[in-house]
Amino acid sequence: MSGHSKWSTIKRQKGVADIKRGQTFTKLANAISIAAKMGGSGNPDDNPRLRMIIDEARSVNMPKDNIQRAIDRGLGKLPGQSLEEVLYEGFGPAKTAFLVEGVTDNKLRTLQEVKNIFERNGGALGGQGSVAYMFDRVGEIRVKGKGGSDEDETLELIDLGAEDIESFEEDGIRKYLVYTEGSELNTMGNKITQAGYGVESQELVYKPNVLVSVNDAEATKKVLDFTEKLEELDDVQKVYANFDIDEKLI
């Protein structure tokens, strides 16, 4: 595992909460607003992207009223500044490549906050296309295994149409990250559910196609601290990276 998928595992191993509860709600509300705006609908049945984010919001017990306000804001029913999606590219410590997705009501503010973290932590913010070629835009489905062997379940998921699979264990349960073409995300998710697996989440992500090995403890700490600082920004939704860290260094 590498980059964003490995980072999720690392945080669990370190005992670090993903983000503070209030910050979680802020990020989810922004994501819901953007999904409603881009999809042109506040009905999750007609807006798959919105449905996925609402499911995530419910999983962390985000109040129903908060969800509805975020939808109304995205549809322009509430006064206030409009939100925009942003994507930043750059290099972090140890020459690792980073893509930072955000949602903001002030692009200049967000740009400066992200730029400061890059520059203060041995990185450099780049221009459009500077690192994007190192990532593929794909669908990622987080799947809970059925209790069978890793080999059998991996083969079954491949037979269902998975293009790539990453297997890992969480709380003693075998789980998988299943990758598919972005256009096939919902179809693949339905196939996996019908096959008896539990789908915990599904979303479009940036998956690294070029990996950078981080081989010493000092560099590992710098890369992980840098990633965490980016994630802590209110306007940042997702952080993707192409680091490959040996489990022994964590």
CATH number of residue 249's parent domain = 3.30.70.980
**DSSP summary character for residue 81:** P
Alpha-carbon distances of 87 from 117, 124, 219, rounded to whole Å: 15, 15, 25
Compute the average pLDDT of residues 121-141.
93
Tens of pLDDT, residue by residue over 17-62, are: 444 555 688 889 999 999 998 888 889 888 888 988 898 888 888 9
Q: Which domain holds residue 146?
A: 135-208
Looking at the structure, tell me whether residues 101 and 5 fall in a common domain: yes
Looking at the structure, tell me whether residues 159 and 224 fall in a common domain: no
Question: Buried (b) or exposed (e) across 209-218, using 16+ Cβ within 10 A?
Answer: eeebebeeee
pLDDT of residue 25: 85
Tens of pLDDT, residue by residue over 165-192, are: 988 888 888 999 999 998 898 899 999 9
Residue 63: is its pLDDT beyond 70? Answer: yes
Looking at the structure, tell me whether residues 164 and 196 fall in a common domain: yes
* Least-confidence region, from 3-7, 122-126, 134-138: 3-7
* Least-confidence region, from 76-80, 125-129, 144-148, 161-165: 76-80
Looking at the structure, tell me whether residues 154 and 122 fall in a common domain: no
Q: How far apart are CA 44 and CA 55, in angstroms?
A: 10
Looking at the structure, tell me whether residues 33 and 152 fall in a common domain: no
Looking at the structure, tell me whether residues 165 and 200 fall in a common domain: yes
Tens of pLDDT, residue by residue over 135-155, are: 999 999 999 999 889 999 999
- Whether residue 170 contacts residue 12, with contact meaning beta carbons closer than 8 Å, is answered with yes
Looking at the structure, tell me whether residues 10 and 79 fall in a common domain: yes
Q: How far apart are CA 45 and CA 54, in angstroms?
A: 11
Looking at the structure, tell me whether residues 171 and 234 fall in a common domain: no
- Whether residue 169 contacts residue 233, with contact meaning beta carbons closer than 8 Å, is answered with no
Cα-based angle 212, 176, 208 (whole degrees, multiple of 5):
25
Residue 4: is its pLDDT beyond 70? Answer: no
- Number of independent structural domains in the chain: 2
> For the whole model, what pTM was predicted?
0.83
For 75, the token pair is 């549809």
Looking at the structure, tell me whether residues 76 and 126 fall in a common domain: yes
Looking at the structure, tell me whether residues 152 and 223 fall in a common domain: no
When pLDDT is cut at 50, 70 and 90, the band that residue 114 belongs to is very high
Looking at the structure, tell me whether residues 103 and 183 fall in a common domain: no
Looking at the structure, tell me whether residues 65 and 102 fall in a common domain: yes
